[in-house]
Amino acid sequence: MDLIDSLNEAQRNAVLATEGPLLILAGAGSGKTRVITHRIAYLIKEKGVSPYNILAITFTNKAAREMRERVEALLGGEARDIWIMTFHAACVRILRRDIEHIGYSRSFVIYDASDQLTLLKNCIKELDLNEKLYDPKAMLSAISKAKDKMIGPDEYAKAYGEDFRNKKIGDIYRLYQDKLKKNNALDFDDIILKTIELFKSNPEVLDYYQRRFKYIMVDEYQDTNAAQYQLIKLLSSYHQNLCVVGDDDQSIYGWRGADIRNILDFEKDFKNTKVIKLEQNYRSTKQILEAANEVVANNKGRKAKKLWTANDDGTPITVYTAADEHDEAEYAIMRILEGVAQGKSFGDYAILYRTNAQSRVFEDVLNREGIPYKMVGGLRFYDRKEIKDIIAYLRVLQNPLDDISLRRIVNVPRRGIGEGTLSKLDESAAKRGISLYDAMMECDDILPGRTARTIGKFVEMMSELMAVKEVATVTQLINEVLDRTGYIKELEKDDSEENQSRIQNLQEFLTVAQEFENKSEDKSLQAFLENISLVTDVDNLDENEDAVILMTLHGAKGLEFDNVFLVGMEEGVFPLSRAMLDEAQLEEERRLCYVGITRARKKLYITHALQRNIYGSVNYNPVSRFVEEIPEHLIEHEGYEAGGVSRSERKYIAATAEPRRTGTLFTQDQGDFGVPLTHRHKRDRSAVKFTEGQKVQHAKWGIGTVVEASDSEVVVVFDSVGSKRLAVDFAPLKVI
Ligand code: ATP
Ligand code: MG
């Protein structure tokens, strides 16, 4: 039968073992995700299980989408009714049906980090505490950590030590939860916790889902936290057909409460567990896989396993020693351009770094060269001010109890509703135990006539929009909001570039809404807002787009690329300096390195810089210990510095370095002190000569005409972006 023919024996066993608890413990690239996909298809096609009875949990929405597509491809349709989704998406669905049992209304909204901060600041103020001593961000992370471990406000002090401070944090936590409830809002962690609360307090609801989900599968199980574990345990306890797949070597969310014991103790927790190991890696070359195995073998707290592959040997891992972070970026991009000139695509390349701050230098060079790239992380589209404003309007229309969103937009654009007025309204709301919006509807007694009229006008506008909401599509509603609130008009008043870009973003938001309406079965405003709340950066990554991918190592989990750059491989950068003193944290960094190495299919580049300007100071970091853990025979060195130099000598070398390999690709300018700081890497383009009037194609800007040309520079007028001056040696230009 073709469905399982494309699997190896261990994978096939995993697909066929449909009944009872099953733990698939396997290294990177061994086909864990593939097993889940085939298992779902097998259950439906061969065992006649209804799609309705299957729940598959993935780590990101993107992974869920991909899994659904693959299952569809195997089944030829019919994948629609399967719940393939993240923990959060599954829980939101469950809550949406039944949250009323635990005292929220079904129109609840989901708060993001910035809403949470606003709310926390209110709590700290209300408790008369000092924000400097009880930093809202620190409070947020303390509360979130507690929630990951399922510790409530009342148990907080008991769990973390009953000192004065912890008691106060417990108070903040309690008030924060009360306020969330009053606003009919959940934060991200609550989504899981409230589902558990719902199940525990309403056995009939739990019973319904327990019976429904006859087969449950969880991918990336090593990164589940205590709450997610509970949830899975509750859901699976009736049929007990639970299959989890994971890799203890890829557990990288310990800092976010993931508990590796969930995987290590699985056999204890679920009686009669069958364990299957997958040992063949299908993703990487032999050399890449060996490097990964060798690095992770240095961790003590792991189940021993060794991956092998039948793939080619491949080429050695290139370790490039850069003079500084600019040189590092130039090198990577030179290699990418070289590869593209040989027929590879930009999308075959990923640049992975430890922290988001490292992306800037790469972005600068990519922009300068006009190379298409896609960065995952950084400022999210939905975090932009104008988008958040419109979302806040929509949230209030959906859920008028949401004071936080209401406060955000009540005076945006400016309507003359000031802080003083709002505090009076807050006070009245608190006294009467009603929401801010309700207080606004009945404010004649507490506000002077003119102010009351201004508020009245605002309330009238909002209630008109609420009426629109009942009959209009989401797209229409957004258009009405933009128009009736005067939001767009305000932006149009001043024709600055910033405002233009805000208007463009709002147009993009309308596109998001349209796409949602085309795709989604449930087209309600509620569903739209949920969708937005649950997207993460990785979800927006479109692999078909031909662009270099920039992201953090955490973001790259589960993905694969032909060519990978692991950059910033220095002590203090990766591993992070704060992880270097703590054995457990260091092991987590090493697992992260293992994740990074195993993303590469064909070629791995590792770069480190002798000197790096990061977080505002210049550092001379030795190469990362993780690089030194890779056996020398797998490595090919490039760049500044001879191999085999001890760490203590490195700093000296940093000041006197000569490029070790100066092939035709490299040229070098000397910095002030003889330190090569700004040498640029060139492609050998001597064959290409540009002349005026020529039609050319640029990788990012498309077709253009050369209007000026010298040996080193060309000026091209592009149809897309107009005139650009480019360096002949570096620009991704070809004559057409
Ligand atoms: P990770 O640990 O990174 O999440 P994984 O164990 O989930 O990896 P997959 O992503 O499922 O591994 O598989 C890695 C690659 O190997 C994919 O491209 C997949 O299609 C391929 N692959 C897995 N099993 C087989 C097989 N039996 N035959 C051919 N290709 C396979
Ligand atoms: Mg996987």
Same domain, 67 and 157: no
Among residues 594, 624, 639, the one where a domain terminates is 639
Same domain, 153 and 219: no
| CB of 77 closer than 8 Å to CB of 155 | no
Whole-number CA gyration radius for the chain: 28
Provide the CATH number for the domain around residue 169: 1.10.10.160
Range of the domain at 567: 308-372+545-639
Any domain includes 272? yes
> Which residue out of 11, 33, 58, 177 is catalytically annotated?
33
Any domain includes 575? yes
- φ and ψ at 194, to 5 degrees? -70, -30
Same domain, 513 and 389: yes
Among residues 534, 557, 578, the one where a domain terminates is 534
Sign of CA dihedral 422, 425, 431, 434: negative
Q: Is there an atom of ligand 1 within 6 Å of 31 CB?
A: yes
Same domain, 86 and 219: yes
Any domain includes 146? yes
Provide the CATH number for the domain around residue 368: 3.40.50.300
Same domain, 521 and 397: yes
State the ligand closest to the CA atom of 281: 1
Of 5, 282, 543, the residue with max ligand 1 atoms within 8 A of its CB, to mutate for a pocket test, comes to: 282
Known active-site residue 219:
yes
Q: Is there an atom of ligand 1 within 6 Å of 33 CB?
A: yes
Q: Model's pTM, two decimal places? A: 0.80
Sign of CA dihedral 501, 503, 506, 507: negative
Residue 685 has a pLDDT of 44
Residue 664 has a pLDDT of 27
Residue 558 C-alpha to ligand 1 middle, in angstroms? 10
Distance CA 687, CA 338 (A): 14
Tokens for 334? 């030179």
CA angle, 406 as apex, 403 and 411 as ends, to 5°? Answer: 140
Residue 245 C-alpha to ligand 2 middle, in angstroms? 8
Residue 730 has a pLDDT of 65
Same domain, 175 and 92: no
Residue 537 has a pLDDT of 67
Provide the CATH number for the domain around residue 523: 1.10.486.10
State the ligand closest to the CA atom of 282: 1
Any domain includes 302? no
Return the SS3 of 17: coil
- ipTM for the assembly: 0.99
Same domain, 483 and 466: yes
Binding site as annotated, residues for ATP: 26-33
Closest alpha carbon to 32 in 248, 230, 190, 200: 248
Domain count along the chain: 5
Helices (H), 76-112: 87-98
Residue 190 has a pLDDT of 96
Known active-site residue 419:
no
Q: Is there an atom of ligand 1 within 6 Å of 733 CB?
A: no
Same domain, 551 and 462: no
Same domain, 249 and 348: no
Instruction: Give the DSSP letter of residue 592.
Output: H
Q: Is there an atom of ligand 1 within 6 Å of 34 CB?
A: yes
Residue 380 has a pLDDT of 67
Among residues 639, 661, 684, the one where a domain terminates is 639
Same domain, 78 and 221: yes
Residues of the chain with pLDDT under 70: 1, 378-380, 537, 540, 543, 641-688, 729-730
Same domain, 133 and 230: no
Of 2, 34, 67, 244, the residue with max ligand 1 atoms within 8 A of its CB, to mutate for a pocket test, comes to: 34
Any domain includes 687? no
Same domain, 124 and 22: no
Q: Is there an atom of ligand 1 within 6 Å of 558 CB?
A: yes
Reported as a single tens digit per residue, the pLDDT across 128-158 is 999 999 999 999 999 999 998 899 999 999 9
Any domain includes 33? yes
